[in-house]
């Protein structure tokens, strides 16, 4: 499950909209957004976006972290998610997100089990190995 506090409001609205409309299938959310108006989605997203991002004590593996940093630079992750991975508008904050969630999401994009509003992430993740995803997830979760 992702950490939602401090996430980009536009990203949250988009994701809830996709789930509500059945365009993004998340079994845990099935039926939860039925009957919600667009205004309801916007209100909840605004509330979550105003919350400070949750931080957790994470142990950094320096070698894995450095590998993840190198992969991130090579893949250009900061061009959409910004240099500090705080995200912008419909692009989510990755900084400090749960490592297991990041790895799961990246694998889902790679394996075409998840799509966003566009297919950029699917194309970017195509062919990325599990080991590289693990390094990238560790880097993003443990900070620059």
Q: Assign 58 a pLDDT band (cuts: 50, 70, 90).
A: confident
**Domains plus CATH for the chain?**
9-50 (no CATH), 62-142 (1.10.760.10)
pLDDT in tens, 10-31: 999 999 999 999 988 899 998 9
Q: pTM for the whole thing?
A: 0.91
What φ, ψ does residue 28 adopt, rounded to 5°? -65, -20
| Contact status, residue 44 vs residue 16, Cβ threshold 8 Å | yes
Distance CA 131, CA 137 (A): 10
Q: What residues have CB less than 8 Å from 117, skipping those under 6 apart?
A: 14, 18, 90
Torsion of CA 60, 143, 51, 81, to 10 degrees: -140
Mean local confidence (pLDDT), 53-77 = 92
Question: What is each CA distance from 136 to 67, 102, 116, in whole angstroms?
Answer: 7, 9, 19
């Amino acid at each position: 499950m992702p950490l939602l506090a401090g996430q980009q409001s536009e990203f949250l609205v988009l994701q809830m909209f996709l789930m509500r409309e059945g365009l993004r299938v998340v079994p845990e959310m099935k039926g939860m957004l039925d009957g919600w108006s667009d205004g309801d989605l916007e209100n909840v997203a605004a509330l979550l976006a105003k919350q400070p991002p949750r931080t957790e004590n994470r142990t950094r593996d320096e070698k894995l972290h450095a590998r993840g940093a190198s992969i991130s630079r090579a893949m250009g992750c900061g061009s959409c998610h910004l240099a500090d991975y705080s995200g912008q508008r419909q692009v989510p904050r990755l900084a400090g997100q749960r490592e297991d969630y990041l790895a799961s999401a990246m694998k889902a994009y790679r394996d075409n089990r998840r799509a966003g509003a566009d297919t950029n992430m699917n194309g970017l993740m195509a062919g990325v190995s599990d080991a590289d995803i693990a390094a990238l997830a560790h880097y993003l979760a443990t900070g620059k």
